[in-house]
Amino acid sequence: MTFPVFRLLLLAAALTFAPAVFAQSAVPMSSPTHRAALLSLEEASGKILQLAETFTPEQYAWAPMEGVASVQGAIVHVASSYYFIAGRLGTPPPAGLNRRELGRGADKAATLAIFRAALDHVTAAIRAVPPERLTEEVELFGDKVPLARVLILAGDHTHEHLGQLIAYARMNRVAPPWSR
């Protein structure tokens, strides 16, 4: 199959399944930016969850070297970033949540629950942004960027750490479930 044909098939599949992804939204998802952001986030976070389920509880403490995030630390880092991104979108974190303490001492089950709750939070925050606000500028890491960029950041950042967790899995002789 040639690359352009593959891209067309991928686009057709995305358009076929996209309505189900947005069916629960209170905000009309007429924005291609919303669709792209949510589809990217769904793909990467789904794979992180699959990997997170595959690691043993003992492997959650594993890190490739001193000073680098453990498996659990990487998963919680992504969850914490979801609260940060939601805040940039105008949806504050739940009352009393401390992103710096998130997941400290959590076991596998608690880490998975933390990740799922944060994912639900950022997904709701993305859906709550009206399409007419996408060009509004907000501060992000010291720069002014369109709000659309913040929506896309959720998937971008999740993909980055999905790659990290795939490397961790391979180093621990764990095969990602989708590659078996």
pLDDT of residue 27: 42
Give the start-to-end residue ranges of the domains of the chain.
32-179
Q: Measured at the alpha carbon of residue 57, what is the angle toward residues 109 and 163, in degrees to the nearest 5? A: 90
- Measured from the Cβ of residue 10, the count of other Cβ atoms closer than 10 Å reads 10
On whether the CB atoms of residues 124 and 90 are closer than 8 A, the answer is no
14 pLDDT more than 80: no
Average pLDDT of the segment spanning 137-147: 94
Considering only the top CATH level, what class is 32-179? mainly alpha
- Residue among 88, 60, 92 at smallest CA distance from 75: 60
pTM (predicted TM-score)? 0.82
Interior/surface letters 31-45, b for 16+ CB within 10 angstroms, e for the rest: bebbbbbbbbbbebb
Q: Which of 16-30, 47-61, 99-113, 143-157 has the lowest mean pLDDT?
A: 16-30
**Residue 137 pairs with which residues in a beta bridge?**
146
Residues 44/153, Cβ–Cβ less than 8 Å: no
Quick: pLDDT tens for 81-140.
999 999 999 999 999 999 888 989 899 999 999 999 999 999 999 999 999 999 999 999
